[in-house]
Each structure stands twice: as structure tokens, then as C-alpha cells.
Amino acid sequence: MALGLLSAILLSGCAAEKDATANWTVEKLYAEAKDEMQMGAYDKAIGYYEKLEGRAAGTPLALQAQIDKAWAQFKTNEPVQAVATLDRFIKLNPASPALDYALYLKGLVNFNDNLGLFSSFASQDLAERDPKQAKDSFEAFRELTTRFPDSKYSPDARQRMAYIKNSLARSNVYVARYYFKRGAYVAAVNRAQTTVNEYRDVPAVEEALFIMYQSYDRLGLEQLRDDTRRVLEATYPNSLYLYPERAAGVKKPWWKLW
């Protein structure tokens, strides 16, 4: 009697765990996954896409499922898994017609449109912030625009690259300013110099040069100070950092303490 009851329970459990998609065609499986995506049921969609990858391995449908799964992972706040999925796709399918989209999506997953928060000291020292994610995003977009300049995703990627580049430069300048205000002039010079060398065509370079100029002055390095000032004057002849008196009605610069 007990043995019979145990067998019934086990059989019942197996029935409950039966895969409801077992008899679905790969086309139906993909359609259902898309429907779940549209309804925002990303976790369920990911499950369907994973089944599809196994059942239709090597087919265009399976490749599309990989990319769609990456998007679903991104939407469920799993950027690490999404990037891993895309990296695998990019590595294994170098000739895929969807490669440009995979690169774009990789950049998008790593893109952080809150980079503007680098401009605030808020509750965290800017020197402790890690820009790696933004740099990874930039590299993915750069690969896309280099390899596929005419891709329909490239114009948006270029705009995002410009945003990232400017934000990273600003974050460096804010850190340099942080060091300068605390008397760490060598550290301020180093961080500002990084901005000048790596981000030459962004607005933040002007302040970076000014921080270098002031830091060299505080360090008593007159030759370097004067050289930096000449570069600043030549590049930004109307710089308000050097000529604050020209900024009538403009908010007092941060370096003016009186």
C-alpha cells in the first residue's frame, strides 16, 4: 500500500514537471517568446529562448533567439548575463548579418545615461567611481562604427560615444578639482593631464588645463606653469578661467574664494 502511494506521488510529480513546450515547433516557441517579451514577461521569454537555442541550434532562428535573449536579460537588470550572451554571439558568429546589432546592443547594455551624476560630489568621492562600464560601452560603439559605418545603428552609436567621451572627461576633471582643493597638486596634475591627453576635443579640457596651470603654480614649477598657460591661452583665448573679469553676470567660478 505504502509503496503504491509513493509511486503515485512520484508519477504525479513527473507529470507536473512535464515540459508544456515539448510538442511545440520552433516557430511556435519563438512566437510565444516574442509575445512574452511584448507583455514584459522577460523571465519567461528567456526560458523560451534558451529552449529554442537548444532545439534549433545552428539555425538563423536560434541565432536570433540569442540576441533577443540578451535584450530580455538587459530588461531584467542582468547586464552581466546580457553581455556574456552577446560576447558569445559575437565570437561564434563573426559573419552574421546581425553582428552590427549585437555590437550596438552590447554598447547599449553597458551605456549608463546617468553618467551626468559624475558631476556631483553627492555622497561618494568621485575618485572611487569606476568608469569601466562606460569605457566598455564606448569600445563596443567604436567597433560598431568602425566596422559598420553605414549601419542604421551607427548614427545613434556615434551620439552615445560623444556623450560618453564628454562625461568621462568631466569625471576626470571633477576628480582633478577634488584633489586640487585638498592640496594634492601632483594627483590633480596627473588626473587633469589624462583628460588633456585622452579627450582632446571636449569642453572639459579647458578646465583641465587650468587645473594643471594652478597646480604647477602651487608646486613652484614655473616653467611648466607658464607652458601650460600658453597652451590654455592659445587654445581658449577667451577663457573665463584665465580672465574671470570677462564673465560679468556669470556665476562666480569655483576657484574664486572671495
Give the tens place of pLDDT for each residue, 77-92: 999 999 999 999 999 9
The span from the CA of 153 to the CA of 160, in Å, is 11
At residue 126, what is the residue type?
Answer: L
Task: Note the pLDDT tens digit of each residue in 118-158.
Answer: 444 444 443 445 678 888 999 999 999 999 999 999 999 99
pLDDT at 13: 52
Cite the beta strand spans of 74-185 per DSSP E.
none
Q: Is the pLDDT of residue 61 over 80?
A: yes
Least confident of 38-42, 162-166, 252-256: 252-256
Per the CB < 8 A criterion, the answer to whether 37 and 48 are in contact is: no
CA 64, 65, 69, 75 torsion: positive or negative? positive
Question: Which domains are seen in the chain, by residue range?
Answer: 26-91 (1.25.40)
Helices within 76-127 (DSSP H only): 79-92, 99-110
| pLDDT digit string, tens, across residues 231-257 | 999 999 989 888 876 655 555 554 443
What sign results for the dihedral spanned by CA atoms 41, 47, 52, 57?
positive
Instruction: List, in order, residues 6 or more apart from 18 with CB less than 8 Å away.
Output: none
Reply yes or no on whether the pLDDT at 73 is more than 90.
yes
* Model pTM score: 0.73
Q: Please state, as a whole number, how many other Cβ atoms lie within 10 Å of the Cβ of residue 96.
A: 17
Closest CA to 242 of 195, 217, 206, 191: 206
95 vs 20: CA distance, rounded Å: 35
